[in-house]
Each structure stands twice: as structure tokens, then as C-alpha cells.
Amino acid sequence: MKLKYLEQFSEMGLETPANGSIFGEFLPARFLFAILANIGMAIVYGLKVNLSVTMVAMLNHTAIVGNKTEDTQSGQCDPPDGQSTTKPEDGPFDWSEPLQGMLLGCYFWGYLVSQIPLAYLAENYSAKWVFFFSVVLNVVCTILTPPLTKLHYAGLLTMRVLEGIAGGASFPAMHIMIANWAPQTERMLIATIIYVGTSAGTASSILMSGLVSNKYGWEWVFYTMGGLSCIWIPLWIILIQDDPNKQRFISPEERDMINTSLGHLEGAKEHPALPIAKVLKSIPFLAILISHTCHNFGWYMFLIEIPFYMKQVLKFNVSSNAALSALPYIPYMIFSILLGKILDHLQNEGKINRTVARKIANTFCTLVPAAALTGLCFIGCRHYFAVALMCIGIVAMGAAYSGFLSSHMDIAPKYAGMLMGMTNTVATIPGITVAQLVGFITEGNQTIAAWRTIFSIAIVFFLIEFIVYTIFGSGEKQDWNDG
């Protein structure tokens, strides 16, 4: 079998000599790819969320609120025992609350419009270089953020939109590379290793942003994170290629194993056009689309709004809020990888098929967060019980990487990037609307009762995701993938 693949590539003049992984058997090429892809995703997501934390240090709070004191409303909690409620030091910018919201949300403007065109480029030209563009543009914009922000807030807005455009390429390009690199027997594990980089980047960004801004000033959050990210750039260029057949640092045995598992040669012919009419009529695809959109509503609720609930209603101070917000992401990564490994093992043993594996994972990432939010509706002012529920909900959501988020590669590996671009474009809408919905419900009404309404809406979305994917989701390749 190995000779067959090598002879075919040699005849077409496409073969790249396989010189062995630079780490030998200790780290096969596919796992070197997974590690560097994980770091790349961590960079994109870390640079995405750093502004949310750093903005506290950038704002002149005295100029914004004047000398008004914040009254505790009925339905709010007293601060936890031992918590200091000292206001943060003032920064240089007196941006209004609507402007703050626009600066935090404008990332999604770029994210919304870029995914499908960049997915097309990744599928038809090079996913490696599209992902490279995603990371590098984020790094450059991050480093330029301090000087341009000091000139005018429009400079920050421009940098965030450009970061969103670049960030929109990350998931579609990476889906294509996983479809080319991950053997069927390891697909859940490799996809999960890569995508938990998003949580690693989120957690490290939250912690680093708070530490660096407090000690060295807000500018150094962007300089430090952007500068450290530059280390990844030459490693990706030198060590990683689009697929194993173009990879020099791989053993012949590993290359052949991947090709045999996937059953086809990526890059051996021109990429076919997406059969859009068949896609839009495909029930498994529509199940992914609905699941992705509903899931992102709940995800952004946990990622962005629950820390806000902890600050406004539970009255955790800024430093405690940052630390507690980052707390769940280490167990999130561990749980995600372990679940992917277990489900891969059960499939390889023939105990479950791929569809069942996906639905098991999706059950975790829907019903557990829904239960956690239900608990938050009734937990009241028991501060650390609320934190525990938040952590449980976030950790369980890591199962999505082994659930619907990998289904694009199952149902149509040829078009995995474009399908991810399509579903993630629609699923970006909750990133824009969640903050507006929360603001509408809680304006002048930061109470447990108001947040109960918000949590109930998120619970409904999780239940819709569970029902739709359980009934209509699939892990099997669809006929339209092959023409």
C-alpha cells in the first residue's frame, strides 16, 4: 500500500521526500502539526479576548462616571467576604459605554464577512498559508494597537476589525488541514488537541492581561502578547505543510498510514466546486448549522456575560473576577482531550460508530451547561456555588470539539473548510447579539431576576441544539461529497 501511494505521487511529480519527523517516533509529524496548530489557535483567541480585560486599565473611570457612587439595587448581592471593592486606577480614555461596546464588538464585524471567502482560498490554494495569514495579521494589529489607539479610537476600531477578518480564517483553514492530516482513528483526538488551543489562549490572555496591565501599563499587554506570538511564525513556515504528502519532516510509514486511513490523495486533482444546492438541502448539514448557532449563543453567554454577572450582581472585584473567569479553562482542556481520546477508542473497538460518538459528545456540551444555567437561576447569592456552576458549564462545553464542530469533516471532508465557514458565519451572529440582548434586559436592572430571564433564553438555545443534533446529526460521509 505504501509503495502504491509513493509511486502515484512520483509519477505526477508531486512527491516530497519523507525524511522522517524531526523528533522521530517520540513526536510523529501529525502530532507536531497538532501542537503548532494548537498554539496558533491560542494566539488568535488570546489576542481576540485581551481587550476585554485590558479595557479596564485603559478607561478613565472618574471622567466617565463622575463622582457618582454605585448603589446596590434590590436583587443584587453583597460582595463576598474579604473582597475589596476598590475602583481600578484611571487610564487615559473617557470612552462612553456605547463606544466601549462598539470597540469590544467590532471584532465580529470582520469575523462575520471573512469566513466564506477565506475558506474558499484555503480549500483551493493553501490552508497552511491562510491560517498563517490569520495569525500574523492578528499579531501585527496587536502590536500596532497602542500607538494607533493613542491617536484616535478609530485606530483601535480598525485594528479590531482587521483582527476579526483574520480570525475568521482560523477555523475554516484548520478544518481543512485536520481533514488532510488526521487519520480516521485519531480524528477526534487531533481535532480536540488543536481546538482546545482556543481555551488555552483565552485563559492565558485573561491572566496575562490583568497581570501585565497592573504592573507595566495597558500598552504592554499588546506589546508583550504580540511579541511572544512572533516565535510561532518561523516554526509554522518551516515545519508544517498543507498535507502529509507535501511534508518533508515525516516518516514514509506515517505518511502512508494517514493516506491509507483517509483513502484518497489530497491535492492530486483540482478541488471541485461546492455543490451548494445539495448542501443547503442536506439535513445533516442543516443540523450542524442550527447546532453551531445555538451553541455559540450559550458559549458567548459563558465567555463574555457570566463574568459580567459575577461583577455586577455577585459583586466580585476586578482581580477576583479575572482569576475566577480563567479558572475553568485548564480542566476544560483536560476534559476535552480525554473525551476525544475515549470516543476514538470506543470507535476503534467497534463499540460505537462515529455518529453515536458525535451525539454523545453533543449531549455533554448541551445538557450540562443548560443544567448549570438552571442552577444559576436559583442559586441566589451563594457566590462560590455560582462560580462552581459556571466552571462545570464551561468545562462541559469543551465536548463540542468532539461533537458537532467535527461533523463538517465527517459529512464532507472535501468541503470541510467551506462548510465550517458557512456555519461559523451564521454562528457569529450570537457574538453580536448576545451583548445587545443582555444590555437591553439589564439596563438599569442589574438584578438576579433580570439575569434569570437571560439564563432561561440561553437554556432554550442549548435544548434546541440538543434536540436537533440528536435527531438529525450524522457522522457519516454524504453522497454529495463525492460528486
Long-range contacts of residues 268-275, Cβ cutoff 8 Å, at least 24 apart? 268/8, 268/9, 268/12, 268/14, 271/123, 271/124, 271/414, 272/414, 272/483, 274/415, 274/418, 275/480, 275/483
Q: Which amino acid is at 154?
A: A
The total number of residues shown for the chain amounts to: 483
Determine contact, residues 411/284, Cβ cutoff 8 Å: yes
Q: Which amino acid is at 87?
A: K
Tell me how far apart the alpha carbons of residues 117 and 268 are, in angstroms, rounded to a whole number. 23
What does the pLDDT profile of the chain (483 residues) look like in tens digits? 444 444 444 444 456 777 777 777 788 999 999 999 999 999 999 999 888 778 878 888 677 665 444 444 556 677 776 665 556 677 899 888 778 878 888 888 898 888 889 988 998 899 999 999 999 999 999 999 999 999 999 999 999 999 999 999 998 999 899 989 999 888 888 988 998 898 889 888 888 887 888 788 899 999 999 999 999 999 999 999 999 999 998 999 999 999 888 875 444 456 678 899 999 999 999 999 999 999 999 888 877 777 667 776 777 665 566 677 777 888 988 999 899 889 989 998 999 999 999 999 999 999 999 999 999 888 877 878 888 888 899 999 999 989 999 899 899 988 988 999 899 899 988 878 887 787 788 777 778 888 888 889 999 999 999 999 999 999 899 999 886
Determine contact, residues 453/385, Cβ cutoff 8 Å: no
Q: Quickly list DSSP for 102-145.
A: HHHHTHHHHHHHHHHHHHHHHHHT-HHHHHHHHHHHHHHHHHHH
Tell me how far apart the alpha carbons of residues 62 and 60 are, in angstroms, rounded to a whole number. 6
Give bridge partners of residue 59 from the DSSP assignment: 93
| Residue found by looking up cell 490554494 in the block | 125
Q: Please name the residue ranges forming H helices in 186-282.
A: 187-195, 197-216, 219-229, 232-239, 252-262, 276-280
pTM: 0.82
Tell me how far apart the alpha carbons of residues 348 and 236 are, in angstroms, rounded to a whole number. 31
Determine contact, residues 412/419, Cβ cutoff 8 Å: yes
Phi, psi of 59 (to 5 degrees): -90, 145
Per residue, what are the HEC states of 329-360? HHHHHHHHHHHHHHHHHHHHCCCCCHHHHHHH
Cell numbers for 160: 479590531
Tell me how far apart the alpha carbons of residues 185 and 196 are, in angstroms, rounded to a whole number. 19
Residue 92, helix vs strand vs coil: coil
**pLDDT at residue 9, as a whole number:** 42
Report in angstroms the alpha-carbon separations of 309 from 20, 291, 386, 479: 52, 25, 10, 46
**pLDDT at residue 231, as a whole number:** 96
Q: Which amino acid is at 119?
A: A
**pLDDT at residue 64, as a whole number:** 67
Domains by residue range for the chain, with CATH: 28-66+95-264 (1.20.1250.20), 274-483 (1.20.1250.20)
Q: Quickly list DSSP for 358-403.
A: HHHHHHHHHHHHHHHHHHHHH-TT-HHHHHHHHHHHHHHHGGGGGT
Q: Which of 170, 196, 181 minimizes the C-alpha distance to 339?
A: 196
